[in-house]
Amino acid sequence: MTQLYLIRHGQAYCNVENLIAGVESDTGLTPLGVQQAERLRDRLIATGEIAADVFIASTLPRARQTAEIIAPAFNLPLLLDDDAQELRVGEADGLTWEQYIEKYGPPPDFREEPFRPLFKGGENWGQFVLRVGTTIDRLVREHEGKTIVVVCHGGFIDTSFLVNLGMNTLALPPAQFETRNTSITQWERLRYGTELRWRLARYNDDLHTRDIGSAERIVWARLAPEPTPASTAPAVPLPTEDEPSPSDDKAKAPTET
């Protein structure tokens, strides 16, 4: 089985300043963002719940800084990857939304015009989704059977759902995602007979941030690193779960890859 963990960066200055931030204007994490990343680091060190083989980060400063903070949890070299960046903003880099609209006019609605760049000189929707899908495919091929951790961005994580679940990639999804800062999203790549499939193991896991500002800290060492088998087993086995349908003579149970 190949495991892919996607971790969103901590709160960044661009998040709170309403800034369209790319490579040039990304100034990294706020003090709260640093604290969120430190909480995640402490959790991962105490639980050992992610036994990473590969540790990657987007080259945008807010993701790279988050990765550098949590790095002691993995004791691996940090590999920087331009393709794990958020949607590329072109000439909007460093502008507020209001400044961009005043200079260039309103950006297009991706639901109606998916082939127009959101910002002048930036990516359109199809280009962004293609980059995310190509990057995920490249990583799982290069590191098949391993555990991959990528510190990236909310848009990258949201788009992984479209790619991995085979949804329409030429239009925005009808559902709205809200991927939280330093949250963990875990995908598993398994082989069912001769077919490889993605399985979502968890999404938006930011439990480590819940004690920020509280009177007590979460004592991670007292928690089991993984759920007990009984707590995760479905009440009734389904063909869409681990076990194939009894009526399907050709179906096979999943094997690890």
Q: What is the mean predicted confidence (pLDDT) over 196-209?
A: 96
Give the pLDDT confidence score for residue 175 in this predicted structure: 81
Which structure tokens are listed for 67? Answer: 């990765």
Strand duo 78-81 + 54-58: pairing: parallel
What Rg, from alpha-carbon coordinates, does the chain have? 20
pLDDT reported for residue 169: 83
pLDDT surpasses 70 at 40: yes
Q: What is the mean pLDDT of residues 148-161?
A: 97
Alpha helices in the chain (DSSP H): 13-16, 31-47, 61-70, 97-104, 125-142, 154-164, 229-232
More confident: 32 or 230: 32
Q: What amino acid is encoded at 17 in this protein?
A: E
Give mean pLDDT, residues 150-179.
91
Condensed to tens digits (0 to 9), the pLDDT of residues 90-126 reads 999 999 999 999 999 998 888 888 899 999 999 999 9
User: Could you tell me the residue ranges of all domains in the chain?
Assistant: 2-228
Please provide residue 197's backbone torsions phi and psi, each rounded to the nearest 5 degrees.
Answer: -135, 150
- Position 35 confidence tier, pLDDT thresholds 50, 70, 90: very high
Put simply, whether the predicted model's pTM sits higher than 0.85 gets the answer: yes
Supply 193's token pair.
């007979």
Residue 92 in contact with residue 120, Cβ under 8 Å? yes
| pLDDT band with cut points at 50, 70 and 90 for residue 11 | very high
Handedness of CA 207, 38, 74, 16 (dihedral sign): positive
Check pLDDT > 50 for residue 70: yes
What pLDDT score does 227 carry? 67
Q: Where are the alpha helices (DSSP H) in 192-240?
A: 229-232
Give domain 2-228's CATH number out of 3.30.470.20, 2.60.120.590, 3.40.50.1240, 3.40.50.150: 3.40.50.1240
Give tens-digit pLDDT for 12-25. 999 999 899 999 99
Confidence at residue 251, expressed as pLDDT on a 0 to 100 scale: 47
Mean pLDDT to the nearest integer, 234-253: 51
C-alpha 20/C-alpha 93 separation (Å) is: 6
pLDDT above 60 for 244: no
Residue 235 has pLDDT above 70, yes or no: no
